[in-house]
Chains A and B, each alone.
Chain A
């Protein structure tokens, strides 16, 4: 894990124009290294999906840079680079019921991205291979999406991303709409594919329990600002930011006794005093690999917490 595959620098995304601008993502920076799974966790409306969409170039950015494999890919780029980026970055969507074209057969859904890249016999072969890779039978190519269960549909969604031979996959809540037992299948499939092909994932979710299982590093985002970023174990052991602590306390555990004694932490954004200019919050590295958002006095407090914990 040496060089970053994707780095996001001071990214801002603003929706709406002039009179009522809405800042969805505010000055966000992070690096994603080759071969890792990077998690982005936050509640709905926090901007996590917007970041994912900015990376696949669906949403225009207001400020900052997104650098993929050494080249800037946001704002205006050349046609050739655009084509390269669309091939190399793919997305898996949340709801497999809504994201597949109901009127198209699986064969077309999966091959749509490479329809003009390969001629017919080769294309069929590619589809067959992609379906096999995700654990579906090649015969399924002639069926329609409604003939499949939720888990199988999500596999079709993954096959459609894989056929492009991407390096980087943005997975936007890929398992939130699935049953518990099928969740496990899809998570296993994703980590298997990662091992085989050295894929890099950006995993977007609101559920920290899943994140702990699959992610190497996690960024916690709240109202368009990354409040804490660290490797998974550190985040779970020494959560510093009050929002991270609230998220962690909300994770349901399959353990009735400790669950009944658990105290729910509630995050109140009003507790921060960021009004005056000398109290402006910064995003700093408080220990190696562990970044946190806060003003000077908060940072002191966090550092003290770390000293106590260690």
Chain B
């Protein structure tokens, strides 16, 4: 892999809420490499959206970065204070596709005008005619037929999948270096979801953009991502290439996420579900945040927070189970089945 385009180091982010502090990101370290497709996976409330919003300065005003740095092309995004600084990054360098295409477009303006807005804002040297050609070109790229006619239409004349295509066109119009897709397909049907994922995948490949996907559904990312980071309670608990995460997961939380997928369930049997509720991030977390819900938890997990154990140059996990002193634990049956499948495919 080549050099990192974005590098997050020991990032701590807190929200102050009614006199209490919520520790939303706890010492997050993450390198995003140029041209890769990284997926960030976790339950709602795990901090995956908060983390990516840090890259764009989009977190609510009550959130503040306590310590750590986000390095992007020699700049420390964590130190940005003024809106004018962010405007240089937002859209131009890093763009975002939001979850719900129903709410992220302005219902009172035509599709064409909304794409033009972002082109004009970021590429001021274009003449109006050039900008329009570019806009029609973008619509064509995202697979919208008859762009001339469609550009004059309003969002309500588009279906959900088509609207998401428009949102992608807006995000890509100013040629960003990084594209963040925050649950790009959760609000869409399965068939449309497959089409949109395929579209993003090809566009990203063609233009050499770095993509970051955020999702709670591991099934969705198998197709699109080259690397996967699993987040729990404001921390990345396991990170590796998608083969490593799907065929050789090591963290019990990754096991739990994979086991709860209905695709892998056996009919008539109970589907695995993660017991208990998420860690309370208002309180100080002692040890491993996942320990109370973890059937494989060791005594050590309640005392000291596990460090990262490196399994390969690309794969590391934060769990005491990987320590040399820990008892040997076999992953659940459903996970072993997945890894066997890899053997079948290779051999």
Contacts and interface: CB of A to CB of B under 8 A. Distances in A.
Given A254-B338, A258-B345, A181 B274 contact: yes
B136 interface: no
B222 A255 contact: yes
Contacts of B258: 254
A60 to B, nearest CB: 26
Contacts of B193: 250, 252
B246 interface: yes
Which 8 pairs between the two chains have the least Cβ-Cβ distance? Answer: A184-B273, A250-B194, A184-B260, A213-B262, A252-B219, A184-B271, A185-B273, A256-B242
B238 to A, nearest CB: 15
B216 A180 contact: yes
A215 to B, nearest CB: 9
Contacts of B260: 180-181, 183-184
A150 B216 CA distance: 14
B277 A149 contact: yes
Interface string B230-263: 0000000000001100100000000011101111
B257 A181 contact: yes
A305 interface: no
Contacts of A260: 223
A206 B217 CA distance: 15
Contacts of B192: 43
A213 B256 contact: no
A251 B262 CA distance: 11
A212 B269 CA distance: 12
A252 B265 contact: no
B257 A209 contact: no
A4 B205 CA distance: 52
Interface in B261-292: 261-265, 267, 270-274, 277
B43 A256 contact: no
A43 B263 CA distance: 19
A264 B345 contact: no
Given A180-B217, A188-B271, A257 B194 contact: no
Nearest to A250: B194
B194 A181 contact: no
B189 A209 contact: no
Interface centre among A184, A251, A256, by most B CB within 10 Å?
A256
A112 to B, nearest CB: 27
A306 interface: no
Contact of A183 (B191, B197, B262, B270): B262
Interface string A170-198: 00000000011111110110010000000
23 contacts: A43-B191, A179-B216, A180-B216, A180-B261, A181-B256, A182-B273, A184-B260, A185-B273, A188-B270, A209-B262, A213-B262, A250-B190, A250-B191, A252-B194, A253-B222, A254-B246, A254-B338, A255-B341, A256-B222, A256-B243, A257-B345, A258-B341, A264-B194
A40 interface: no
Contacts of A255: 222, 246, 338, 341
B44 interface: yes
A206 B160 CA distance: 14
A65 interface: no
Nearest to B256: A181
A272 interface: no
B156 interface: no
Interface residues of A, number: 41
B198 interface: yes
Interface in B288-347: 338, 341-342, 345
Contact of B190 (A179, A213, A247, A259): A247
Contacts of B264: 254
B191 A184 contact: no
B207 interface: no
B262 A187 contact: yes
B218 interface: yes
Interface string B183-225: 0000001111111011000000000000000001111101100
Contact of A259 (B43, B222, B267): B222
Contacts of A101: none
B218 A180 contact: yes
A254 B219 contact: yes
A256 B262 contact: no
Given A179-B216, A181-B257, A181-B260, A213 B189 contact: no
B43 A208 contact: no
Contacts of B43: 179-181
A179 B243 contact: no
A210 interface: yes
A260 B246 CA distance: 13
A209 B263 contact: yes
Contact of A150 (B44, B222, B271, B342): B44
Contacts of A184: 260, 262, 265, 271-274
Given A184-B262, A254-B264, A264-B198, A206 B190 contact: yes
A252 B267 contact: no
A107 interface: no
Given A183-B260, A188-B271, 6 more contacts: A44-B189, A179-B43, A247-B191, A251-B190, A258-B345, A259-B222
